[in-house]
Structure 1
């Protein structure tokens, strides 16, 4: 669903780029904040299995509400294809997203931990392979969804009017979620189900809180210094719980820099998708939609996970190179930063092709000469800056203040017109000819680049009679002599242009239209033998190809493989037996914080250039990567099973003889137990 979400905000709810990005990342952040709730429910009351079932139902209901919210006929009383009350759609959309966030967030820490529960403690290799396959499976689903969901979105559906089919794009995932839930329930008898062991998160928080408060209460007393600050909780909590909390806190502290990775990673669904809307998506005979470019990530995941798992990692081990989990995470962060450097470079190339529209109280004006002789024109009576436009050609756009005049001259015939522009920050076109006197007509042009691969086309009738025009069979209507048509939107390719004058029909095949262009087409001739037109390109088609995004996707996905897969496995392996979901939730919480960082950094930076924002995020991640590498250097790996084995059923540490009998070597220093 996320594949089309930012485009749903922009093109259905009609929000701008910034609001669409803000709501998108807010939604993702909430999805990764709710895992804490899921972990509490699973570990305290229901267990992982039941939590997955119940919250998956919430998930499905939310998806259904989203599908209903996207039905444009729901409030389209006048049947014009536009919602009469967009507030209804916004309210339903937000309700659906909240339910989805509760559902997906609630099951996230449970699913990975539930899979890990199926393995015994000694099955480290199998469990590691499971997490790779688990991540591979998620991205196989992501691959299918980022191919199919945009296709479903691109369909046209509706009762009264045909519009983009977001209801089906959201509805199909809802139906498939029902199927997935049924399959999961059918396998119930095959699973190893670990019973909930109490409200462990609350216990952890209380233990930490008591240790801190106890330490400050006794700071002025002459009490011997304790080995660890959590040891100040010994007056109230058993030694086993304190040892387990120490393991969790040690890992959570290490997670502090990690959200910056997700701040970059999740922008492929927002900023990178919006970047793709300004690019050429024509791959041979296939037209790729901007949201389908996210398939590159899923395809690369499916390819790279086995490559790393069965190729690169074993090769490094054979070369006796210690590519530990924390080193992998560090490399992943660096690769993500490099991906954004590449994205910035691509953005600078895109910016060179984008039109510059007027700002403030200015307008843009161009002139089309419909006469047979050359036209000379100037603005504000300044003949020294005059320009010449040949017959049936156009000038460039001139940026002017709104209060202005224009002088038109054909030979010795001269006339001045006031530039009467209805609004600023807008583009306009004059058509000019010389009959008994100089005539000029001003028309408003499109003042933003066409999106979703469309091209904006309007016609000018340079003939002496009315002409009826069709493009690909769709009627543009009658165009009076010396007049403009309204704009019509056409997609990629060659179109058939047809004209009719007083029963005489004419036609021709158009030039091949690209992505995001705008043309004014002058109709010069329409007879039984021929149709002749002249093309004036007002806005250049997208010329930077979407394929240039592949290197940034490759770098980001490579970073994801060594960062995210490793992080899931690391979180599970370093967690105490009764806190697997807690640490999984902590890992997922870094994703939520990362999306919040996007909102803060993008808002606080206030950068007008997108490439500069990409560079800023890359620089921040490099800085964080350096900090994390220093923290990782001082981190010591734990074996939760061995640590827990040192305590009896009452949570007290076993005596020296018992530990030695279990194979631990005991010395007199602090933390002196080591496995022989």
Structure 2
């Protein structure tokens, strides 16, 4: 766990700053908004914006990349021009505007250019959340007078991280429920509400932040150390080019001593040594952040039913922050002491182990993907075709045709199908259909097969209806039902009502109509009369055949065209548990190493580079998704695992010459080591202030002088 050095005084502590309540409330609302949107984003991109999974993955990780790139912008703006208060205020307004834009784009009645509106909104959100990320916790730290309020400051950070954890956990749980269980604008889901609730909380966060304005301690901008380091490196390169022959130095940075000073040069040398070890870090974040993209898509193909409740695919993301709560103390008090006994106690060793755990998590996800591929229906080949015959008549039919394997009779309300017929080009098969039952007339026609298509034929009283079938599972993983009605024209008031009482009118003689339903029992009704019941499960594709009339009664039969998801969503838990353990060992330890090894003046620059590694990691996902090395998702998961293993091997080579350093303590004051009670260490790391160090206190989320 990262320690924080705080100067304390013998004076009695001052009154706790009232302004802190506004800052913590603001942070809760902001984190609720960010994680709520992020949780459902990839499903929105595929189902409503109709991007394929690869493109949705690319857009998700570009968004995440920008979220962790813009903190550099926010820190520079806050430290060099506007100060923290105005930077938070202005960028929060941009943030809230982005949330409103995404929400409005999700309302179908407005008929806005949805793709363009969504991209604009996401860009503004990335700018807003990224820009304020390095400032909020630092601004909270500014409210305390140091050193006399050191203990109160530590309490603030505990509350601050609790707000982060609470906001993210609650939103990750609630937004999938709003998305799926609420129906609006004629849809089976309500993305507009799922986006609007977080957006309203972001607007509320701006109001809360402004409400505390008169209570805030607002400090002027004091310069950014990133500029100092950049100037030192620039001076060194310029002087080296001019003096390397006439005035040779031991190290190329020594050439900057005349302009930047000896201390700046010495601190920059240490910084660059640590940043060399940072080079492999982006690969870890490339794996870690796929929990919100590829792993969510994986969950849509799994069975979420547990004890009568159906887990939404995007709700699996809530497991990570919940595990963090329990695993940090477990690691601190149990696992780390055990590892220390076997010789694994140094930060770089833990970092390596964390990276290898991430690789194991992706090997587990690859193995799970292989099992899913075994039970999922095989995709239709480009030069193949599927053909189905749905018999909606009360009697059996025999077909005389050259269509392969159609030798047996198609029974009343029965189904015949032939999958993946080799069809290199469009082909026609004439047929004659005969029935021994005098109630059903004979007829003839043609079967038309097209490469890469699923063609179906529905036999009803007036003839045969041809339509393009679809047996693929939905992008959200919910079941679908096709109702094929062979009823008189006057019996037209049919509806299909699912388990949450959503009734969909059925169009007579429209065999292509497919109804999305929720998991559970759906009822077919004629007016108020119940005709049939279909018990559906997630991922299943069903066909309900109905024959008869209101006068004589109806007969029905349900066919399972595509089996429902059979592998339970809980099989994702092993990979989530392992990636969470990897996060604690890699992420928390990485920050601990950075703060203990970097000179005090360089921790802000180091944190900027840490956030940059997250951004680069997401860019790596974008590149691999765009290159499409493999058709198989399991192979791509295995590729990432292999990259992580190679990456850790390179990291080990980089660590071999590294020598741990210890920086001297501040002789001016008594010191106490404070370890914040941190329920969500990841946000502690990612919320770290990347600005100047002139504030007199230090924490993972806020740096000051020691």
Counterparts of 1:403 and 1:265 in 2: how far apart (Å)? 48
User: Which residue in the other structure is 1:63 paired with?
Assistant: 99
Q: Offset at 1:194? A: 7.6
Is 1:566 the equivalent of 2:589?
yes
Query: Residue deviations 1:63-97, cap 9 Å, x none?
Result: 2332233232222xxxxxxxxx42xx333322222
The answer to whether the 8 A contact 1:497-1:510 is kept is yes
What is the rounded CA distance, in whole Å, between the counterparts of 1:478 and 1:170 in structure 2? Answer: 32
Q: Cα distance, 1:279 vs. partner?
A: 1.6
Segment drifting more, 297-306 vs 574-583: 574-583
Alignment pair present for 1:348 and 2:360: no
User: In 2 relative to 1, CA 527–106 (structure 1 residues): closer, same or farther, beyond 3 Å?
Assistant: closer
Hey, what's the Cα distance between the residues in 2 that align with 1:432 and 1:172?
A: 48
> Secondary structure of the equivalent of 1:395?
strand
SS in 2 for 1:404: strand
Name the counterpart of 1:663: none
Whether contact under 8 Å (2:97, 2:124) holds in the other structure is yes
CA drift of 1:554 comes to 0.8
How far, CA to CA, are the matches of 2:342 and 2:389 in structure 1? 72
In terms of mean alpha carbon deviation, does 333-342 or 13-22 score higher?
A: 13-22
227, 239, 251: which one aligns with 2:262: 239
1:488 paired with 2:512, answer no
* Number of the residue aligned with 1:655: none
Match of 1:302 among 318, 325, 329: 325
SS in 1 for 2:373: helix
Q: CA, structure 1 residues 587+119, in 2 after alignment: closer, same or farther (shift >3 Å)?
A: farther
| Contact 2:431–2:445 (Cα < 8 Å) also in 1 | yes
Where 1:450 maps in the other structure, the secondary structure is coil
State whether structure 2 residue 583 is matched by structure 1 residue 541: no
Q: 1:240: how far off?
A: 1.1
Alpha-carbon distance in structure 2 between the residues aligned to 1:245 and 1:187 = 39
Distance 2:663 2:79 in 1: 18
Whether the aligned pair in 1 keeps the contact of 2:361 and 2:578 (CA below 8 Å) is: yes
The 1:241–1:348 alpha-carbon spacing in structure 2 relative to 1, beyond 3 Å, is same
Aligned pairs (5 A) from 1:212-227: 212-219=237-244, 221=245, 223-226=247-250
| Pair 1:8 & 2:44 matched | yes
Q: Tell me the SS of whatever aligns to 2:612.
A: helix
Distance 1:224 1:125, change over 3 A: farther
Number of equivalent positions: 619
Matched position secondary structure for 2:626? helix
Q: Does 1:202 align with 2:224?
A: no
TM-superposed deviation, 1:26: 0.7
In structure 2, relative to structure 1, the CA distance for the partners of 1:183 and 1:305 (3 Å cut) is farther
CA distance in 2, matches of 1:442, 1:134: 62
> 2:646 matched to which residue of 1?
623
Provide the C-alpha distance between the structure 1 equivalents of 2:376 and 2:38, rounded to a whole number of angstroms.
Answer: 27
| 1:419 aligns to 2:455 (yes or no) | no
Aligned to 1:79: none
Q: CA deviation at 1:263?
A: 0.5
Pair 1:172 & 2:197 matched? yes
Cα drift, residue 603 of structure 1: 2.1
Match of 2:55 in 1: 19
1:152 — aligned with what? 178
Contact 2:467 2:512 in 1 (8 A): no
In the alignment, which residue of structure 2 is the partner of 1:328? 350
Equivalent residue, structure 2, for 1:392:
413
Match for residue 34 of structure 1 among 55, 59, 70 = 70
Give the TM-score normalised by the residue count of structure 2: 0.77
How much does 1:393 deviate?
2.4
Instruction: Mark the structure with the bigger radius of gyration.
Output: 1
The equivalent residue for 1:648 is: none
| Aligned partners of 2:236 and 2:256 also within 8 Å | yes
Q: Could you say which structure has the greater relative contact order, defined with CA pairs below 8 angstroms and 6 or more residues apart?
A: 2
Please point out which of 168, 178, 182 is paired with 1:142.
168
Name the SS for the 1:396 alignment partner.
strand
Other structure's SS at 2:260 match: coil
Separation in structure 2 between the aligned mates of residue 255 and residue 130 of structure 1, nearest angstrom: 30
1:427-481 Cα offsets, whole Å, 9 max, x none, are: 1222358x9xx9644232225322324322223345677643322273544646x
> Could you say which residue in structure 2 is the equivalent of 1:360?
382
Gaps of 5+ in 2: 1-36, 669-706
* SS of residue in 1 equivalent to 2:378: coil
Aligned with residue 634 of structure 1, among 654, 657, 660: 657
Q: 1:241/1:540 Cα in 2 relative to 1: closer, same or farther (>3 Å)?
A: same
Whether the 8 Å CA contact 1:466–1:479 is kept in 2: the answer is no
Native 8 Å contact 1:146 1:295 kept in 2: yes
- Change in Cα spacing, 1:229 to 1:516, as seen in structure 2 (3 Å) is same
CA distance in 2, matches of 1:618, 1:124: 43
